[in-house]
């Protein structure tokens, strides 16, 4: 197995639970060196997003170009890109990447605050997602990408297949937003095949960083040469454990997932 570095393109989360910070910890927990290109500096906690300061797109391109020119990167993920200009800046440099590209189409934070400008949606649909090897939307994001709500387990499966078809990539559709289900079920759609990954629903208040952790874990698996199916199985289990070990560091009930010290058997 090769151990090429993995790259994340995302925002900096001041609370350390999501974004670049979650991705680098996840890469490290998978034994990989992590690289990062920062899109925005975000003042946030699991309770609030108080400020988003975008890094100028030209500076994002400089980070990315230097990393792409200097390292043999095994796989990369893009999370919070924030604006159309940032999306275009990233897409311009990824044309010849030639390794797995994981796109987490981040739109809204777990606090309900927007992490993507509305005017950027077209660029997500027309520029970014067609470059993806695999996309990892949650149910609300899948709904926005398809232009309809995804409300049931049946609709989740259909939506995963449709998104995979629409963007000619694999789609890992997270099921965490279904309420009152005893099970948390994610769906992986790849070239006509569908796989399900289920786990008992964990009723934990500290879930900040879950989506970033899942897509970073998937990226780490792909950087190591795993198939979509193998990487997805590993990412699902890794994220479940990180959620189980989550804790709150702030003076409120909400907190962050914990990426390290995982007992692989639990
Ligand atoms: O929860 C998603 C998220 C929150 N905050 C920052 C991020 C991301 C996802 O990429 O970059 C800063």
Rounded average pLDDT over 82-94: 98
Reported as a pLDDT band with limits 50, 70 and 90, residue 265 is very low
Judged on CB neighbours under 10 Å (0-12, 13-18, 19+), 93 is: middle
Rounded average pLDDT over 163-176: 96
Judged on CB neighbours under 10 Å (0-12, 13-18, 19+), 141 is: buried
Q: Where are the domains of the chain?
A: 6-244
Across 153-157, 177-181, 219-223, the highest mean pLDDT is recorded for 219-223
DSSP 135-197: E---HHHHHHHHTS---SHHHHHHHHHHHHHHTTSEEEE--TT-TT-SEEEEEEEETTEEEEE
CATH topology of domain 6-244: 3.40.1190
Q: Residue 45: CB within 6 Å of ligand 1?
A: no
Atom of ligand 1 nearest to the CA of 110: 1
Reported as a pLDDT band with limits 50, 70 and 90, residue 181 is confident
Reported as a pLDDT band with limits 50, 70 and 90, residue 157 is very high
Contact 37, 67 (CB under 8 A): yes
Question: Which tens digit of pLDDT belongs to each residue from 109-134?
Answer: 888 899 999 999 999 999 999 999 99
**pLDDT averaged over every residue in the chain:** 92
Which of the pair, 205 or 58, is modelled with greater confidence? 58
Q: How far apart are CA 186 and CA 237, in angstroms?
A: 11
Which of the pair, 191 or 13, is modelled with greater confidence? 13
Atom of ligand 1 nearest to the CA of 79: 10
Beta strand pairing status for 49-54 and 75-78? unpaired
Rounded average pLDDT over 164-178: 92
* CA-proximal residue: ligand 1, atom 7 (nearest): 19
Q: Name the strand (E) or helix (H) holding 11.
A: strand 6-13
Whether the full predicted model's pTM is greater than 0.85, yes or no, is yes
Q: For residue 59, give the nearest of 18, 13, 90, 25 by alpha carbon.
A: 90
C-alpha gyration radius of the chain? 17
What sections of the chain are H helices per DSSP?
19-29, 57-70, 84-94, 121-123, 139-146, 153-166, 210-223, 228-244
Tell whether the model's pLDDT for residue 196 goes beyond 70. Answer: yes
Q: Residue 83: CB within 6 Å of ligand 1?
A: no
Contact 117, 89 (CB under 8 A): no
For a substitution probing ligand 1, which of 8, 9, 10 has the most ligand atoms within 8 Å of its CB?
10
Beta-bridge partner residues of 37: 9
> Ligand 1 mean position to 217 CA, how many Å?
15
Question: Which tens digit of pLDDT belongs to each residue from 208-256?
Answer: 899 999 999 999 999 999 999 999 999 999 999 988 887 777 666 677 7
What is the model's pLDDT at position 266? 45
Atom of ligand 1 nearest to the CA of 40: 12
Which of the pair, 262 or 199, is modelled with greater confidence? 199
Q: Residue 110: CB within 6 Å of ligand 1?
A: yes
Rounded average pLDDT over 42-53: 94
Q: How far apart are CA 153 and CA 175, in angstroms?
A: 8
Question: Which tens digit of pLDDT belongs to each residue from 23-33?
Answer: 999 999 999 99
Question: For the chain, what percent of residues have pLDDT higher than 90?
Answer: 77
Tell whether the model's pLDDT for residue 37 goes beyond 80. Answer: yes
């Amino acid at each position: 197995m090769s151990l090429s570095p993995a790259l994340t393109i995302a925002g900096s989360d001041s609370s350390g639970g999501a974004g670049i910070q979650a991705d680098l910890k996840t890469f490290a927990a998978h034994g990989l060196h992590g690289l990062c290109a920062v899109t925005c500096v975000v003042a946030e906690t699991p309770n609030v997003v108080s400020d988003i300061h975008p890094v100028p797109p030209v500076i994002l391109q400089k980070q990315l170009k230097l990393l792409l020119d200097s390292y043999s990167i095994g796989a990369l993920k893009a999370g919070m890109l924030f604006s159309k200009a940032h999306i275009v800046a990233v897409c311009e440099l990824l044309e010849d990447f030639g390794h797995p590209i994981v796109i987490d189409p981040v739109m809204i934070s777990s606090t309900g605050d927007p992490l993507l400008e509305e005017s950027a949606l077209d660029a997500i649909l027309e520029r970014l997602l067609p470059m993806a090897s695999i996309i990892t939307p949650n149910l609300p994001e899948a709904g926005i990408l398809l232009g309809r709500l995804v409300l049931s387990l049946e609709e989740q499966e259909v939506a995963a297949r449709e998104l995979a078809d629409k963007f000619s990539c694999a789609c890992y559709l997270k099921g965490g937003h279904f309420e009152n289900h005893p099970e948390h079920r994610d769906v992986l759609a790849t070239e006509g095949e569908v796989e399900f990954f289920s786990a008992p629903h964990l009723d934990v208040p500290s879930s900040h960083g879950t989506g970033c952790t899942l897509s970073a874990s998937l990226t780490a698996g792909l950087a190591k040469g795993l198939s979509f199916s193998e990487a997805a199985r590993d990412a699902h289990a890794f994220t479940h454990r990180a959620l189980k070990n989550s804790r709150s560091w702030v003076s409120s009930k909400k907190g962050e997932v914990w990426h390290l010290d995982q007992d692989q058997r639990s």
